[in-house]
Amino acid sequence: MSKLANVWVFSDIHDRYPELLAAAQTLGQTVNALIIGNEDDAAKLIKQGADRSIYWNTVRGNLN
Protein backbone atom coordinates (compact mmCIF):
# COMPACT_ATOMS: atom_id res chain seq x y z
CA MET A 1 0.00 0.00 0.00
CA SER A 2 1.40 3.39 -0.94
CA LYS A 3 1.41 6.19 1.60
CA LEU A 4 -0.54 9.41 1.32
CA ALA A 5 1.54 12.53 0.79
CA ASN A 6 0.07 14.32 3.82
CA VAL A 7 -1.90 13.18 6.83
CA TRP A 8 -3.47 15.61 9.29
CA VAL A 9 -4.08 14.84 12.96
CA PHE A 10 -6.34 16.73 15.39
CA SER A 11 -7.71 15.90 18.82
CA ASP A 12 -9.34 17.97 21.52
CA ILE A 13 -7.76 15.62 24.08
CA HIS A 14 -3.99 16.16 24.23
CA ASP A 15 -3.27 12.72 25.72
CA ARG A 16 -4.44 11.04 22.50
CA TYR A 17 -1.79 12.59 20.26
CA PRO A 18 0.94 9.93 20.69
CA GLU A 19 -1.40 7.19 19.49
CA LEU A 20 -2.83 9.29 16.67
CA LEU A 21 0.61 10.37 15.48
CA ALA A 22 1.88 6.79 15.48
CA ALA A 23 -1.06 5.71 13.32
CA ALA A 24 -0.63 8.70 11.02
CA GLN A 25 3.03 7.82 10.42
CA THR A 26 1.97 4.46 9.00
CA LEU A 27 -0.49 6.17 6.64
CA GLY A 28 1.39 9.20 5.37
CA GLN A 29 4.77 10.47 4.26
CA THR A 30 4.31 13.78 6.09
CA VAL A 31 2.37 14.03 9.35
CA ASN A 32 0.84 17.41 10.19
CA ALA A 33 -0.71 18.05 13.59
CA LEU A 34 -3.11 20.80 14.66
CA ILE A 35 -3.46 21.55 18.36
CA ILE A 36 -5.43 24.02 20.44
CA GLY A 37 -2.78 25.23 22.84
CA ASN A 38 0.48 27.13 22.81
CA GLU A 39 3.95 26.99 21.30
CA ASP A 40 5.13 24.47 23.90
CA ASP A 41 2.24 22.14 23.03
CA ALA A 42 3.16 22.37 19.34
CA ALA A 43 6.82 21.60 20.08
CA LYS A 44 5.74 18.54 22.06
CA LEU A 45 3.93 17.20 18.98
CA ILE A 46 7.16 17.40 16.98
CA LYS A 47 8.92 15.36 19.68
CA GLN A 48 6.07 12.83 19.52
CA GLY A 49 6.49 12.29 15.78
CA ALA A 50 4.75 15.07 13.85
CA ASP A 51 6.72 16.50 10.94
CA ARG A 52 4.91 19.81 11.27
CA SER A 53 2.67 21.25 13.97
CA ILE A 54 0.31 24.18 13.96
CA TYR A 55 -1.19 25.60 17.13
CA TRP A 56 -4.14 27.83 17.80
CA ASN A 57 -3.70 29.92 20.91
CA THR A 58 -7.28 30.48 22.06
CA VAL A 59 -6.27 33.05 24.66
CA ARG A 60 -4.73 35.32 22.06
CA GLY A 61 -6.88 34.14 19.16
CA ASN A 62 -3.88 33.52 16.91
CA LEU A 63 -3.29 30.68 14.49
CA ASN A 64 0.46 29.97 14.14
**Residue by residue, what is the 3-state secondary structure of 19-42?**
HHHHHHHHHEEEEEEEEECCHHHH
Q: Judging by DSSP bridges, how do beta strands 28-36 and 4-10 pair with one another?
A: parallel
Q: What are phi and psi of 43, to 5 degrees?
A: -65, -35
Number of domains into which the chain is organized: 1
Q: State which residues form the domain around 14.
A: 4-63
Residue 26: predicted pLDDT = 97
More confident site: 64 or 32: 32
pLDDT digits (tens, 9 = 90+) for 5-59: 999 999 999 999 999 999 999 999 999 999 999 999 999 999 999 999 999 987 7
pTM of the predicted model as reported, rounded to 2 decimal places: 0.84
For residues 56 and 28, give the distance between their C-alpha atoms in angstroms, rounded to a whole number: 23
For residues 37 and 21, give the distance between their C-alpha atoms in angstroms, rounded to a whole number: 17
Residue 57: predicted pLDDT = 84
